[in-house]
Amino acid sequence: MTMKPEWTSAAVSPVNLEMRDQAMAYQDQLTKPQGSLGQLERIAVQFSALQGRLKPELERVSITVFAADHGVADEGVSAFPQAVTAEMVRNFSRGGAAICVLARQIGASFEVVNLGTVAVLEPLPSVLDRRIAPATANLCVTAAMTQDQLTQALAAGFEAAERAQQQGAQLFIGGEMGIANTTSATALAAAILERPVIELSGPGTGVDASGVLHKVEVIERALELHRQALKDPAAVLRCLGGFEIAALVGAFIRCAQRGIPVLVDGFITTAAALIACRINPGVRTWLLFSHNSAEPGHRAMQHALEAETVLDLGMRLGEGSGAAVAVPLLRSACVLQAEMSTFADAAVSDQGLNV
Amino acid sequence: MTMKPEWTSAAVSPVNLEMRDQAMAYQDQLTKPQGSLGQLERIAVQFSALQGRLKPELERVSITVFAADHGVADEGVSAFPQAVTAEMVRNFSRGGAAICVLARQIGASFEVVNLGTVAVLEPLPSVLDRRIAPATANLCVTAAMTQDQLTQALAAGFEAAERAQQQGAQLFIGGEMGIANTTSATALAAAILERPVIELSGPGTGVDASGVLHKVEVIERALELHRQALKDPAAVLRCLGGFEIAALVGAFIRCAQRGIPVLVDGFITTAAALIACRINPGVRTWLLFSHNSAEPGHRAMQHALEAETVLDLGMRLGEGSGAAVAVPLLRSACVLQAEMSTFADAAVSDQGLNV
């Protein structure tokens, strides 16, 4: 049996529904045809409700990338060698990865948490060493994590949310890096959604069609192996997850408890969001969704979460990159509601002729 | 017969195809799975070709909103009274309109060109007075513009592009404001695309279903009236266009001649882009497209232009707002290509295992 730490079930921060209604009414007073800002209106109203203010602000964004290796990489499910996880942690530290470039563009704080890379890394700027083990166990052979490892990984996410809170973050983005983690995330999705693995599986970072079929076979074997154990979301996470995915789950839950909106990235982070919401359903209120990834299982998870996204650019990189790219759109939404004139202020006629 | 000014046919600035190929190859050296940045890769490569540099820059953006009234407003085709055009010019000047808020967010230069509002406006900050007439003529009754008016409106666009050039603009956004201008733009689209008016017509700023049918009837009457005259794109523009639409056409053509990429906004500006490309086909190379508006005719014009957009947010405001919202995405594309490490720089393994 899998135990979830007690803190994961604590109530999430309340949302201001009165402010939501006030913001909806206010949108119709701004100098534009009603509804003409489309989804940006919905987003601004959501930030009003989350922040409890009519004129929402979105300046301070905190990005944490969680990195870890996966035992299931032994099954040959990724297009890249396992060494890439640690190599990319160095690349994050030096600022050369996509997420680093985007973090600079949007002025976000950026850190990496290493939860367990096979290669031992020297101390690196912007990288926190929280190594739990060199990698998870191979989920085809045994549970990916022990109970204690799961607890540690969730706690690493909790701590990242606490740091974001201390930075005064108005938005949290969790990214991930871990060779073979689309296999883990697909297994999580299949277990939670009870959907056939083949419907949820895609090329990840770039395996070909036979590689996808191999991944499906590996995941089906894992689901069969753990069938009896997969009784609740924490058990699913322990048996099939990764350290970085569990840390994302912990971070998302803690952000919701702390009242920090979370912008969910792509396939892997959506799997973490799904688990977080199954562990603590209140978390959903604090989640926003950024983009549709190219990975086919993403849509199914988004549907289960009733997720509305703002971007569909065919991105499939991870690292939190799709979420970072979407931040300026959320800022546009907030700043429009905060700074546009009303019809009354601007002496613009708002009487439709209804012809 | 309608004459187009000679300058409109001059060759556009050449594009660097060698740099495009170099940029495509460079994208595959960056520390990410090939193709994993989706559309952002295509956009960065396009900027490399347009700017002739491997590491494209997108700092300086110039926005010009062209405003004018339409005689066809007499037919009761808009949900808003005609006075709103001038009222919104004042709102632009004071910085309270959506496009002003977005221009500040993205650090763009911003100006308004008044080509003819029914209400006479006092001198206003950020507003250039280029009034050609109080409004176009009612296109249901006669040609919207005289030859001389068309020439003046195109020249106003030419001048805006020249100002952008002097500012060192790396991107030009043309916006528009003009009560009843979806009627004019729909008429232009129907004439150029030779498609049934009913397929291209929508609610504009917010007329109801019977309002849409009325608009269709008005446009069909206009097309019938001008049938013999609609022999070339300049004639279509003169008979059915608006001053602000003709100015957009002039601006887009001149930007292409000056080598300034243009980011096309929504329905009205796409009609202008379509006319600009029919007058001078080379213009197409310098156009980028921002978003899908909610107006049904937009897709048909985009299809004719082979336009690929990055946003689909259900926006239908005009003013250049959809383009302004998309600017940070183009910046993300450029900055990723310019600043990401290569596999060689970062010592990251790029050998796919092809399992």
Provide the strand spans (E) within chain A: 61-68, 109-116, 127-129, 171-177, 262-264, 287-289
Q: Does the structure show a pLDDT above 70 at A354?
A: no
Residue-wise pLDDT tens digits, A247-285:
999 999 999 999 999 999 999 999 999 999 999 999 999
Q: What is the ipTM of this complex?
A: 0.96
Q: What is the pLDDT of residue A221?
A: 98
Please state, in angstroms and rounded to a whole number, the distance separating the CA atoms of residues B143 and B240: 7
| Candidate from B77, B97, B208 with C-beta closest to A31 | B97
* Min Cα separation B281/chain A (Å): 28
A341 neighbourhood in chain B, CB within 8 Å: 91, 94, 96-97
Please state, in angstroms and rounded to a whole number, the distance separating the CA atoms of residues A312 and A323: 11
Provide the strand spans (E) within A69-206: 109-116, 127-129, 171-177
Q: Is the dihedral of CA B221, B224, B227, B228 positive or negative?
A: negative
Q: How far is CA A284 from CA A46, A51, A269, A279, A332, in A?
A: 12, 16, 14, 11, 23
For residue B64, what pLDDT band results from cuts at 50, 70 and 90?
A: very high
Which residue do the tokens 């279509």 mark? B236
Q: What is the pLDDT of residue B205?
A: 73
Q: Does the structure show a pLDDT above 70 at B97?
A: yes
Q: Tokens for B19?
A: 């740099």
Task: Count other C-beta atoms under 10 Å from residue B60's C-beta.
Answer: 15
Q: What is the pLDDT of residue A207?
A: 83
Residue of A nearest to B81 (CA): A353
CB contact under 8 A, B355 and A37: no
Give percent above pLDDT 70 in chain B.
Answer: 99
Average pLDDT on A25-48 reads 97
Q: What is the pLDDT of residue A122?
A: 96
B76 neighbourhood in chain A, CB within 8 Å: 353, 355
Residue of B nearest to A89 (CA): B348
Q: Touching check for A107 and chain B: CB below 8 Å?
A: no
Please state, in angstroms and rounded to a whole number, the distance separating the CA atoms of residues A273 and B180: 46
Q: What are phi and psi of A11, to 5 degrees?
A: -60, 145
Round the average pLDDT of chain B to a whole number and report it. Answer: 96
B310 neighbourhood in chain A, CB within 8 Å: 311, 313
Give the residue extent of every domain in chain B. 61-328
Half-sphere exposure of B121 (CA within 13 A, CB side): 32
In the beta sheet, which residues pair with residue A68? A116
Residue of B nearest to A32 (CA): B317
Q: What is the pLDDT of residue B354?
A: 35
**Contact (CB, 8 A) for B278 and B253:** no
Give percent above pLDDT 90 in chain A.
Answer: 92
Residue-wise pLDDT tens digits, A183-223:
999 999 999 999 999 999 988 777 888 999 999 999 999 99
Please state, in angstroms and rounded to a whole number, the distance separating the CA atoms of residues A18 and B265: 35
Average pLDDT on B128-137 reads 98
Q: What is the pTM of this model?
A: 0.97
In the beta sheet, which residues pair with residue A65? A112, A175
Give the type of residue at B243.
F
Q: Touching check for A103 and chain B: CB below 8 Å?
A: no
Which has more pLDDT, A106 or A3? A106
A351 neighbourhood in chain B, CB within 8 Å: 80-81
CB contact under 8 A, A31 and B91: yes
Percent helix / strand / coil, chain A, rounded to 5: 50, 10, 40
Which has more pLDDT, B293 or B109? B109
Please state, in angstroms and rounded to a whole number, the distance separating the CA atoms of residues B339 and A165: 29
Q: Does the structure show a pLDDT above 70 at A355?
A: no
Average pLDDT on B54-76 reads 97
CA dihedral B102, B103, B108, B112 (to 10 degrees): 150
Contacts 24+ apart (CB under 8 A), B125-134: B125/B93, B126/B92, B126/B93, B127/B89, B127/B92, B127/B93, B130/B156, B132/B68, B132/B156, B132/B243, B133/B243, B134/B69
Average pLDDT on B272-295 reads 96
* Min Cα separation A112/chain B (Å): 17
A residues 304-333 near B, CB within 8 Å? 310-317, 321, 324-325, 328-329, 331-332
Could you tell me how many helices (H) and strands (E) chain A has, helices first? 14, 6
Q: Does the structure show a pLDDT above 70 at B353?
A: no
User: To probe the interface with A, which of B117, B334, B340, B342 has the most A CB atoms within 10 Å?
Assistant: B340
Average pLDDT on A151-176 reads 98
Q: What is the pLDDT of residue B351?
A: 60
CATH number at A61-328: 3.40.50.10210
**Contact (CB, 8 A) for A280 and A9:** yes
Q: How far is CA A9 from CA A6, A104, A277, B142, in A?
A: 6, 35, 10, 71
Residue-wise pLDDT tens digits, B186-228:
999 999 999 999 999 988 777 888 999 999 999 999 999 999 9
Q: Touching check for A81 and chain B: CB below 8 Å?
A: yes
* Min Cα separation A138/chain B (Å): 17
Instruction: Work out the angle between the directed axes of helices B321-339 and A98-106 (0-180°, nearest 10).
Output: 130
Q: Tokens for A325?
A: 């790219």
Q: How far is CA A99 from CA A324, B77, B208, in A?
A: 7, 48, 45
**SS3 state of residue B353:** coil
Which residue do the tokens 């930075």 mark? A167
